[in-house]
Amino acid sequence: MRPAVSIVGGSGYLGGELARLLLFHPGVDLKQVASRRLTGRPLHSAHPNLRGLTDLRFCEPDQLDPCDLLFLALPHGLAAGRIETYAALAQRLVDCSADFRLRDPESYRRWYGQAHPAPDWLPRFVYGLPERHRQELRGARFVSGVGCNATAVNLALAPLADAGWLERAVADLKAGSSQAGAVARPGSHHPERSGAVRVYSPTTHRHLAEVEAELGLLPVHMTVTAIEMVRGVHLTAHCFPSPQAAVEDLRQVWELYRQQYAREPFIRLLGGRGLYRYPEPKILAGSNYCDIAFALDAGGRRVVVMAALDNLMKGGAGSAVQAMNLMLGLEETAGLRFPGLHPL
């Protein structure tokens, strides 16, 4: 019998992507999708692309039946407060919010400005980035989803950081409007947001906490700029290599990345020529890929690492389903093979 999975917090963009992926997943059955606000309404009332594909209707969170794996796609802060309740419903949990992304309560307090409501639970969670925690994820019970900006930075910088080649980096991120969620705000009003090039986080972004947790306490300076885009994260990481790295040739960088990522199913190292020789988020919409490419300043003083991903896929629901596949012992790429569209 195929595992039964459910979603709580199913009305948001991440919940919608989870629902889409799970409805078409070859190895699991989507049983319930809970949303207090939309209880009783069909899934397509929030996710119009799902019209005609399922008879499921949103249920009350309290009406959730026990299941094999439960996805939490709630606003930040809600999962931690009710973790006992949700853990009682399912053998396995994937929490897509920021609540359980850090292992260290102190780090949580520092970045989120308050004590964690369930600190005992933090060490039970595995950070759901398969490229970094594949072994722990296999069979894991409690998994945290990833931050989209953090994932771009972590995947782009990990090889350099792991090799001790990274002295300092400036991570300049460009972000789409879906990153801010499904609720209308003055800043998301179309006449204002359309065509914007809006730095909204010039010096501090909470996703840095996840970078620190994964790559260590490196001087990574992060700036996020909202641009005209709905889906997608683009990173240009300006990396200053440590002297001992002795980077003189782009092939050294290639070799480093190839060693680490050659067998990763969802990381593509780009090269060659043509319009798409560097990563572009738009051809990744709906796909689970993270595309990465590099360039080198004359003299090797700066390695420019570029990366792109879909914030709702590799930076959210896609990584969460990839983690689920590992937790349940399924094929890691199951349900995640859509390649993206071109042109778009």
- Candidate list 104, 105, 119, 338; residue touching a second copy; CB under 8 A: 338
Distance CA 215, CA 218 (A): 7
Residues 6 or more apart from 37 whose CB is under 8 A from it?
11
Contacts with a second copy, 249-268, as mask; x by CB under 8 A = -------------------x
Q: Which stretch in 136-144, 155-163, 178-186, 205-213 sits in contact with a second copy by CB under 8 A?
A: 178-186
Report the largest interatomic distance among the alpha carbons of the chain, rounded to a whole angstrom. 63
250 and 317 in contact (C-beta within 8 Å)? no
* Residue 243 binding a second copy, by CB under 8 A: no
Residue with tokens 């970078």, as numbered in its chain: 211
Given the complex with a second copy, which of 42 and 117 has the nearer CB atom? Answer: 42
Helix axes 318-327, 13-23, angle to 10 degrees: 50
3-state secondary structure of 90: strand
How far is it, in rounded angstroms, from Cα 128 to Cα 109?
Answer: 21
- Sites for a second copy among residues 59-78 (CB under 8 A): none
Report 96-125 residues binding a second copy (CB under 8 A). none
Stretch that binds a second copy, among 13-21, 67-75, 89-97, 123-131 (CB under 8 A): 13-21
Please tell me whether residue 255 adopts helix, strand or coil conformation.
helix
Q: How far is the CB of 16 from a second copy (least distance, A)?
A: 6
DSSP state of 66: P
Residue 343 preceded by cis peptide, ω within 30: yes
296 binds a second copy (CB under 8 A): yes
Smallest Cα–Cα separation from 139: which of 74, 87, 69?
69
Distance CA 2, CA 286 (A): 25
Choose, by CB under 8 A, the member of 60, 65, 192, 331 that binds a second copy.
192
Active site residues: 148
Closest distance to a second copy from the beta carbon of 202 (Å): 4
Q: How far apart are CA 41 and CA 45, in angstroms?
A: 7
Q: Exposed, middle or buried, 48 (CB in 10 Å: 0-12/13-18/19+)?
A: exposed
Least Å distance, CB 8 to a second copy, is 20
78, 118, 196, 334: which one binds a second copy (CB under 8 A): 196
Q: Which of the stretches 108-116, 128-136, 151-159, 284-292 binds a second copy when contact is defined by CB under 8 A?
A: 284-292
- In the list 25, 132, 174, 207, the residue contacting a second copy (rule: CB under 8 A) is 174
- Report the residue number, 52 or 120, with the smaller CB distance to a second copy: 52
Q: Please, which residue, 32 or 288, has the CB nearer to a second copy?
A: 288
When asked if residue 38 is in the footprint of a second copy (CB under 8 A), the reply is: no
Q: How far is the CB of 236 from a second copy (least distance, A)?
A: 6
Told to check if 286 binds a second copy by CB under 8 A, we report: yes
